Structure 1
Amino acid sequence: MTAPAPAASLPPGFIALHGNRIETLLDTVAGWLEQHPLAPLESEVILVQSNGMAEWVKMAIARRAGVCAAAAVQLPARFQWQTYRQVLGRAQVPARSPLDKTALAWRLMRLLPEVLAEPGFAPVAGYLAEDDPGRRFQLALRIADLYDQYQVHRPDWLDTWGEGREELLDAGRIATPLPEDQRWQAQLWQRVLDELEPQQRALTRPQLHDRVLATLEATAEDTALRPAAALPRRVVLFGMTHVPLPTLQLLAALSRHAQVLLAIPNPCRFHWADILDGREWLRITRRRHPLREGRELQDVGLDAMHLHAHPLLAAWGRQARDFVRQLDAFDDAEQTRARFPLARIDLFDDDQDTHDVAQPTLLVQVQRHIRDLTPLAEHPHPPVPAEDRSIVFHLAHSPVRELEILYDQLLALLARPPGDKPLRPRDIVVMVPSIDDFAPAIRAVFGQYGRHDPRHIPFD
């Protein structure tokens, strides 16, 4: 085993790892952190997409290293605001934005009754016709959450609305008018901004973001001006299938001062940005992944794409496609290979990496076909054994019945794990379209047995 590098030798730069298995990505990242440790009292900054992923990452690192300590695992939005304070100084950037979601919700709670009679607010006025304070606060929370998402993902829309233009900008910066029933969003945002003092308006995320990028760019070459003492020396972004463009811009700017390591789940080893509608907005000269069989799919009509790509990837991959393609603008793979001693930066598995090479399960076959961008016409069709339960469909007439079927299936899986490998509740994740809609049914079905009952399945 190679001895770990000294804590002081941590060159800055931008490293993007792609792989189709999250376990492989984690092993590679954990190995890199072990070989290039920070100083004993430094915290490892790790960005994840959810609190559930944060817990999984910490437990996985602890299983590998024996302990997970001094790890600041956090969400990107919180990290961004902390970085703004580190770069511009705590005196210029407060601990919280004046338009944070909670503060904004109370501001909207007060503003909503004032705007109901104004033109364009009919959709909101209809919802609040009964003048119920509880209903108004519920709506204020939802609108505040919406504006909070805009601040992270679409600051360009908010900038446009703040200038008094009721428009939406697309990926090509082409403006289209807001639909009539949505213009209240722009008008309400203008009212929010009108209440802020000039120094408060300068503290909104879009304005701070531009200042931070300019500062990081200006100080990259001048060591006397660098805010390096406050910035983390390494930032790891792990397991995210979508990162807002402002976050990517910030990480790219930080990479001139710190080491930025991204571990990106990517289902396909080939360039697949051109298999979906909207590909004309993602024309970028630099391309990380090779073409399958050397074919430029941007020249193939979408009506014929089923002959060249996997339909599941085309149907479900839009958000991940947009992110991976955006990342190409910041990711120079050749420079990464030249600067950092990594054996591989493309961590896609091979057929021999799976344990059931002789007779792969149906799930493994589908994963391989997506990984290799194999169209349906080229799929081999080996028979699926009756005992293969890797992909199963159930039909149910209600959410409660869905959960009852799921509960029975999980009990059976835990009693008789596939392949006779130990299976624990923490190894299982259940995904639903809207967790809020299913929460009462989950509590009713999974909470019916106490902790000491053998039928109890822990859930959260």
Structure 2
Amino acid sequence: MLTVHRAEQAGCLVEALADTLSQPLADPMRTEIVAVPERGVERWLRQQLSLRLGTSCGGDGIAANIAFDSPSFLLRQVLDGVSDDPEAAESWFADRLRWPVLRVVDGHIDDPVLRVLATHLGTGDARADRGRRLSTASTIAALFTSYGWQRPTMIAEWASGSDTDGAGGELAEHLRWQPWLWRLVREEVGHPHLAEQLPVVVDRLRADADAVDLPERLSLFGATRIPQTLRSVLAALSERREVGLYLPHPSPELWSAVQTAGPQRSGRLRAERRPVRVRHPLLASLSRDVQELQEVLAPAVGATRHHSAEHRRPATLLGALQDGIRRDDPGRPAEGEGLDPGADGSVEVHACHGPQRQVEVLRDRLLHLFDADPTLEPRDVLIMCPDVEAYAPLIGGVFGQSSRVGDHPAFSLRVRLADRGIRAQNAVLDVLARVLDLAAGRVRAGDLLDLAATEPVRRRFGFTDDDVDTITGWVQRSGIRWGVDETQRRRFGLGGFPQGTVRTGLDRILLGVVAEEAENEWLATALPLSGIDSTDTDLAGRFAEFAERLTTLLETVSEPHASGQWLRTMIHAADLLTHTDSETEWQRAQAVGMLTDALSVPEGTPESELELADMRDLMAQLLIARPTRSNFCTGELTVCSMVPMRSVPHRVIVVLGMDSGQYPRAGAVDGDDILQVAPMVGERNVRDEDRQVFLDAICAATEHLLVFYTGADALTGARTPPAVVVSELLDAVRGVLGLGVGDPVPVLYRHTLHAFDERNFVDDGSGPFSYDAALLPGARALSALTRCRERGPALPVIADERLPRAPGDADVDLDELISFLAAPVEGHARQRLGVGLPEQADEHRDELAVELDGLERWGVGNRYLDALLSGADPHAAQGAELRRGSLPPFAFGTREFGPICDKAQAVATAAHGYRDDSADAVDVRVVLPDGRRVYGTVGDVFAGRLVPVSYSRLGPKHRLAAWIRLLAIRAGSDRDVAEAVVVGSASGRYPSAKVSRIRTPDDAGDLLAVLVAIRDAGLTAPIGLTLDAAVAAASEFGRSGDPAKARRRAEWAYKKSYGDQNRYAGLVFHGDPGAAVGFETMAAAVPQPEALSSVAGLLPGDDATDMYIRLAAALFGSLLAHEEDR
């Protein structure tokens, strides 16, 4: 007999099942069979039964000799036992069916009936991607399997030659290719489909109890949907056996309402179904799955038993909500008067600013629950999430799983991510999938480095963290962009340009072991890479071995192979690139096992040829999440997707990530799926399934139900609605509390944008919400700043502080002096405060640029200029640059390189006229009036000249640096240097050089003392000088002597040179590196006269002159007076 056991709580069903199993089978050695829909349910059920079954009065902790199989496995057992040819039934399951489908599609793709399929596969189009063959065959096989599982009557009609939908209708014209193809697949398989044999199988099971080797009692636990084929088999088995269905059902009133509605025609379309009238909105919107299951089971059910827990008065909001669902009463319960949800906390909905904040709020809320109830343990909490993969890294970080840095109390919680995708768990499979992806793509440098950094690859080649960093630097400096070699690039129309490929970059690295890049010597197309130490020789060899093995594999997998050869190739790839130790060897075994199962074909069956794209699709199917029983109910705080632990009761159930549009799933109709085009009652609907799962979660929570969603945009703050089911939950709570439709719901909590918001640390009587002590100082600082803003005064910034003078006996490094005076505001931050802003990240580009940006153009020109100045042959220097891989390909590179060479040649030609001797370096030691020394070394001295040369446009920075070095040589050495000749490029359309000749002054010591005094003052407080504005002011003041004109000229130059965008000025004067700083702010930042009292008589101008102008003239006045431009 088929008996349905139903209960609102799965715990009551466990008691009923335990009572059943406590009665031994006739054969005590016979294994009990309990079919379960999910592995999480299996683990929980096994543990619960072990607490109830035993040799004494139960609770021995042992539940043995029970097989917890899936319903599909149970069906396979029945078919294997009943069928005369078990292999025939196995041939029709999806994992085996893809191969005959693929062979049939390949053999008949030119038939007019399959023209839609041929268009999809791109048959006859040389430009089309033929890699969709296996993916398409797998999809068709899955459809055929689903048809046989859910609508066997349609398959039986197809077998008889009818093109019908199994519901009494004819198929639409665009779907008739499916029965035509199915009949060809049946011929290829050579065995009848289960649907054809189902009447015979059912009759045999009904007539003969020994037709199948199963015990006299079968149980199916926790299902909310049972496909038609399994229903037919279970009904037949129940004629000779005891079959028990243990179904979680939310409401006895709903069950009665479906029964009262009366029997409806079997095999009817869902559109013909009469909706059941219920009062509770959650039952009306979320329970269609269990309603339809009850309807389709009704003809076969022999008895129904309701197992109800002892009814108690609903003392909490959650209890009242569940009681209303049970009684089908959406209103406020009579015994619920005085219900206070604000102090209850049994139902909470948290609106947060994005996924990260959801997890942070969840962490603190759980800690509050653990503190409030010492009996609550992590095992009592279940976190369900529609998208585990997206939230897994956030959970790992927030709960301290990825790093235990810090002392947050949540770091002591043990968290188990139960059903992540297998790619996240099996690193060997991840490596193999990456190899296939690389072969299908362009082999980008970033992807290559990502592969090298995976754990199995690192173990195989001995790469440490430092090694990976070193290799990353090599890849960037060697110019590797994308492509294995020139041959592979031909696929993308770039044959003949090997620069930037892995092969060329690797040659550069290996040549760098024995030669220097600066020597401009190359071998074939490779230029040695500089900076490879002798200690890195072994690493270079290991990286070369890795790249060589990968290159060989990429060539192999890029070609089509038979399925058996693909299996051998993938195993060989795992051996070449990965290594596993005793703790991870299971990963290789699992990878090999899964690939073997996926690629093996029955003996005697021809192997299909698969292309690379087919293998990628097959690998993608293998990497779908597969929860294992060992990951559930481990005593840790469990995080899983929505289905594996559905209906399993927990004291605290958390539903995370219930954002609008994310849940329920969209459920778009697949136009090729006949079951979705015309669905029948009892067939799968993903949106109804998701809704039912959410209802199960509501009913499974015994003490607390916490729901989290993104309730506001993290950037704009605009509020966003939750998932529809969450809105329905809030409406139901309104009904329990007797609130109106528009009334605010007291269980909805809206959280702050940041965890460090001061409101998270305010004691509301039950303690602060946040447990993060590390964020408390930040919250206090934020609170102080907020109060400052409310009071009105401007917030303090760096420029407001006057620091004490730097130690007076500190000598001055010449290079530091030059660096400071070139950018006084930045110098104050760096040299006195030790504050440096991070530079813009110069990420390595994987693509080949068709034009160079300004910095890249300067790098090429500067290297070429250095080569020319060192006396290298121009053609050799150009050849070295071409082999460096820094130029765009083909004509793009020629277009860029030509003007660069012309400009560098013009600068070099101009410089050669003054560099008529070998270069020399001069050590300088200048004794200042206060006893300190300015010390350093000045290079680029040729005979009696200082001749610095730069590819950059000759500007104030280069001239000032040369001037200061010239002063230091004159005042601090016995070397006779008459002038500085500064050579750089000239601005303008045509490439040319610009030369500035600066004569050596007689009062070099005094001038240098003034510059040191300015630096001393600038270390005490920031000085708002920029070089462009300063030289403009000094020039005008020297010409006209009018400080007002000089100031206007400085302002014009400041704006023209975008001085207001100086990041250090923004930091110092406004506390924000991105803030614009006006000229008046900068010009007002000058030292007080007493700060320069030691050199007061040496400053240009008088006491009435604007100090800004006097400082500008001190920097550039004498320079301009001794300068001659050419």
Q: Distance in 2 between matches of 1:367 and 1:125?
A: 53
The answer to whether structure 1 residue 236 and structure 2 residue 219 are counterparts is yes
Deviations 1:143-201 (A, max 9, x none): 3222222221111122223334333233xxx32x334444443333232123233xx12
Partner of 1:314: 284
Equivalences for 1:336-351 in 2 at 5 Å?
345-351=305-311
Partner of 1:445: 394
Q: Distance in 1 between matches of 2:365 and 2:115?
A: 52
Residue among 91, 95, 116 paired with 1:98: 91
Residue among 180, 185, 194 paired with 1:192: 185
Equivalences for 1:186-225 in 2 at 5 Å?
186-197=179-190, 200-201=191-192, 204-219=193-208
Higher deviation after alignment, 147-156 or 56-65? 56-65
- 2:289 partner letter: Q
Q: CA deviation at 1:100?
A: 1.7
In the superposition, relative to structure 1, how do residues 442 and 327 fare at CA in structure 2: closer, same or farther (>3 Å)? same
Contact residue 120 and residue 180 of structure 1 kept, 8 A? no
Q: Distance in 1 between matches of 2:347 and 2:332?
A: 21
Partner of 1:459: 417
Residue among 373, 378, 397 paired with 2:328: 373
Partner of 1:392: 348
Equivalences for 1:291-370 in 2 at 5 Å?
305=277, 308-333=278-303, 345-352=305-312, 357=313, 359-361=315-317, 363-370=318-325
The answer to whether structure 1 residue 32 and structure 2 residue 32 are counterparts is no
Q: Distance in 1 between matches of 2:325 and 2:249?
A: 10
* Secondary structure of residue in 2 paired with 1:147: helix
Residue among 127, 138, 163 paired with 1:141: 138
What TM-score do the two structures reach when normalised by structure 2? 0.32
* Secondary structure of residue in 2 paired with 1:263: strand
In the superposition, relative to structure 1, how do residues 419 and 98 fare at CA in structure 2: closer, same or farther (>3 Å)? same
* Secondary structure of residue in 1 paired with 2:86: coil
In the superposition, relative to structure 1, how do residues 178 and 450 fare at CA in structure 2: closer, same or farther (>3 Å)? same
- 1:81 partner letter: R
Q: Distance in 1 between matches of 2:365 and 2:110?
A: 58
Q: CA deviation at 1:78?
A: 1.4
Q: CA deviation at 1:216?
A: 2.2
Q: Distance in 2 between matches of 1:241 and 1:410?
A: 32
Deviations 1:361-413 (A, max 9, x none): 2x322322222222x4676685552244443334567xxx4476146415632
* Secondary structure of residue in 2 paired with 1:109: helix
In the superposition, relative to structure 1, how do residues 407 and 144 fare at CA in structure 2: closer, same or farther (>3 Å)? farther
- 1:366 partner letter: L
Contact residue 258 and residue 291 of structure 2 kept, 8 A? no
In the superposition, relative to structure 1, how do residues 445 and 179 fare at CA in structure 2: closer, same or farther (>3 Å)? farther
The answer to whether structure 1 residue 178 and structure 2 residue 171 are counterparts is yes
Q: Distance in 1 between matches of 2:114 and 2:326?
A: 48
Deviations 1:20-71 (A, max 9, x none): 1111101121132124456442211001112222222112222434122211
* Secondary structure of residue in 2 paired with 1:235: strand
Higher deviation after alignment, 231-240 or 407-416? 407-416
Q: CA deviation at 1:283?
A: 5.3
* Secondary structure of residue in 1 paired with 2:417: coil
Contact residue 425 and residue 457 of structure 1 kept, 8 A? no
Unaligned runs of 5+ in 2: 54-60, 267-273, 405-410, 419-1126
Residue among 235, 239, 245 paired with 1:252: 235
Q: Distance in 1 between matches of 2:352 and 2:132?
A: 33
Partner of 1:163: 160
Contact residue 31 and residue 66 of structure 2 kept, 8 A? yes
Contact residue 109 and residue 118 of structure 2 kept, 8 A? yes
Contact residue 45 and residue 235 of structure 1 kept, 8 A? yes
What TM-score do the two structures reach when normalised by structure 1? 0.73
Partner of 1:288: none
Q: Distance in 2 between matches of 1:187 and 1:394?
A: 53
Q: CA deviation at 1:235?
A: 0.7
Tell me which structure has the larger Cα radius of gyration. Answer: 2
Partner of 1:4: none
- 1:154 partner letter: R
Deviations 1:75-111 (A, max 9, x none): 11211121123234xx532385221211211222333
Contact residue 324 and residue 331 of structure 2 kept, 8 A? no
Partner of 1:152: 149
Q: Distance in 2 between matches of 1:275 and 1:402?
A: 40
Q: Distance in 2 between matches of 1:414 and 1:258?
A: 50
Q: Distance in 2 between matches of 1:141 and 1:411?
A: 45
Q: Distance in 2 between matches of 1:76 and 1:424?
A: 31
Residue among 223, 248, 264 paired with 1:282: 264
Equivalences for 1:64-103 in 2 at 5 Å?
64-65=52-53, 66-88=61-83, 91-94=84-87, 97-103=90-96
- 1:168 partner letter: D
Deviations 1:194-227 (A, max 9, x none): 3233xx12xx22133322211122336xxxxx44
Unaligned runs of 5+ in 1: 1-12, 221-225, 285-300, 337-344, 433-437
The answer to whether structure 1 residue 413 and structure 2 residue 361 are counterparts is no
In the superposition, relative to structure 1, how do residues 444 and 122 fare at CA in structure 2: closer, same or farther (>3 Å)? farther
RMSD: 3.4
Amino-acid identity (%): 23
Q: Distance in 2 between matches of 1:454 and 1:213?
A: 55
* Secondary structure of residue in 2 paired with 1:348: coil
Q: Distance in 2 between matches of 1:71 and 1:403?
A: 42
Equivalences for 1:48-63 in 2 at 5 Å?
48-63=36-51
Q: Distance in 1 between matches of 2:291 and 2:66?
A: 30
In the superposition, relative to structure 1, how do residues 69 and 272 fare at CA in structure 2: closer, same or farther (>3 Å)? closer
In the superposition, relative to structure 1, how do residues 309 and 459 fare at CA in structure 2: closer, same or farther (>3 Å)? same
Contact residue 15 and residue 261 of structure 1 kept, 8 A? yes
Higher deviation after alignment, 67-76 or 379-388? 379-388
- 1:458 partner letter: R
Partner of 1:290: none
Contact residue 154 and residue 166 of structure 2 kept, 8 A? yes
- 1:282 partner letter: Q
In the superposition, relative to structure 1, how do residues 19 and 450 fare at CA in structure 2: closer, same or farther (>3 Å)? same
Higher deviation after alignment, 35-44 or 309-318? 35-44
* Secondary structure of residue in 1 paired with 2:72: helix
Q: CA deviation at 1:117?
A: 4.6
Deviations 1:271-325 (A, max 9, x none): 558679xx787258xxxxxxxxxxxxxxxx96x94xx522221222222111112
Contact residue 273 and residue 325 of structure 1 kept, 8 A? no
In the superposition, relative to structure 1, how do residues 120 and 319 fare at CA in structure 2: closer, same or farther (>3 Å)? farther
- 1:428 partner letter: L
Deviations 1:208-255 (A, max 9, x none): 3322211122336xxxxx447x22121111111111233222222222
Q: Distance in 2 between matches of 1:85 and 1:377?
A: 52
- 2:157 partner letter: T
Q: Distance in 2 between matches of 1:256 and 1:107?
A: 36
* Secondary structure of residue in 2 paired with 1:195: helix
